Amino acid sequence: MTQHTDVVVIGGGQAGLAAGYHLRRQGLDFVVLDAQATPGGAWQHTWESLRLFSPAAFSSLPGRLMPAQPGEEYPEAGHVVEYLSDYEKRYDLPVLRPVRVHGVHDDGRLLSVDTDSGTWHARAVISATGTWWRPFLPAVPGREDFGGRQLHTVSYRRPRDFEGRRVIVVGGGNSGAQIAADLVHHTELTWVTQRPPRFLADDIDGRALFDAATARRRALDEGRTDTGGVAALGDIVAVPPVREARDRGLLKASPMFSRLVPGGIEWADGTRAEADAIIWCTGFRPALSHLAPLRLRGPHGHIAVRGTRALDEPRLHLLGYGDWVGPASATLIGVGRPARDTARQIAELLS
Ligand SMILES: Cc1cc2nc3c(=O)[nH]c(=O)nc-3n(C[C@H](O)[C@H](O)[C@H](O)COP(=O)(O)OP(=O)(O)OC[C@H]3O[C@@H](n4cnc5c(N)ncnc54)[C@H](O)[C@@H]3O)c2cc1C
């Protein structure tokens, strides 16, 4: 099956939906192709206790405020899934599921998008595939030797699965701190971080992070000194469960170990900790393998962009992956502006 449209959006999570909202406003013909069977992107797969780090009203996509979740100032992931499901219905966005894109090719006048349900020919493509699908695991000696269970953030669901076990949580970011706090009352926990954990001030949540990311982008764009953005404030949002565990003295971190051994981990001085499981909360990378046929990666493995547009392929935009494609663009509230600019630029290109 071969079809034609102005724009193919790859990925139907929040970034793909925000793109759809603005493409519609520009009057463009488009389709959103999403590999998931149901709406909600990565929010369908997070651990059960996850809460947003901002109140609902500060977690909204363009056009429609996220309603508050009754009884919860910081909504659950399930609430986000409901919001995104409602959003795509409300704006009647043409999302096709499940459709997985295998590759985007330069076909001369058009870009061709190969999927498991046929090929789409488009005048422009927006890639909005997120990072959840490409978990990052650091190279650590002895990984194959460890006899227990190893998993990444993406596979962690609930503390009950580790009841009474000796668990090592690796990572000093939000996922590491939240999963450590989730497990602290249920397991014999060792939390390991590369540098001492940097908690943000208790009154800082996603709202302040969005402001910090925006201020940094503005400073850089205007040639002023780098403000340091979010990273200058700290690494861990003190959401209520993290705050509580920290205040009770239960979130003490150990430094990074040097290798895995059959029964656990070992630090450089030979000290060991026994473990049944290791949970790697060590981050994500952009899921961009479908763009490989375009050969846009530079020497450092990055695709060079100006705003969201690929410098070497002006028909391609990258949306939502992180600050490098728009300040706070990997957040619900932050993706709206780059989505609007992307749709405008595509409308200009195609006119
Ligand atoms: C643990 C965690 C907590 C977070 N907490 C917050 C928070 O509190 N507030 C906030 O604003 N942000 C938060 N974020 C950041 C961000 O909002 C989420 O990561 C969000 O899911 C990103 O949306 P997205 O649309 O870019 O990607 P995703 O939600 O991952 O959606 C991408 C979609 O593209 C699909 N896809 C991928 N590859 C293909 C392909 N080849 N073909 C077709 N479809 C494909 C995927 O299946 C998916 O449906 C958090 C992130 C994490 C990891």
pLDDT in tens, 152-188: 999 999 999 999 999 999 999 999 999 999 999 999 9
pLDDT in tens, 248-265: 999 999 999 999 999 999
Using the atom order of ligand 1, give the atom closest to the CA of residue 178. 1
Instruction: Ligand 1 pocket test: pick from 132, 200, 211, 329 the residue with the most ligand atoms within 8 Å of its Cβ.
Output: 132
Q: Is the CB of 330 under 6 A from ligand 1?
A: yes
Q: Is the CB of 91 under 6 A from ligand 1?
A: no
The pLDDT value given to residue 230: 65
Q: Is the CB of 346 under 6 A from ligand 1?
A: no
Q: Is the CB of 320 under 6 A from ligand 1?
A: yes
**Separation CA 134–CA 136 (nearest Å):** 6
Measured in Å, residue 13 CA sits from the centre of ligand 1 at 6
**Separation CA 52–CA 36 (nearest Å):** 21
The pLDDT value given to residue 301: 75
If pLDDT is split at 50, 70 and 90, which confidence band does 74 have? confident
The pLDDT value given to residue 225: 77
Q: Which long-range contacts (CB under 8 A, 24 or more apart) does 108-116 make?
A: 110/4, 111/8, 111/315, 111/316, 113/8, 113/10, 113/33, 115/33
N-terminal to C-terminal alpha carbon distance within the chain: 27
Measured in Å, residue 322 CA sits from the centre of ligand 1 at 11
**Separation CA 99–CA 346 (nearest Å):** 23
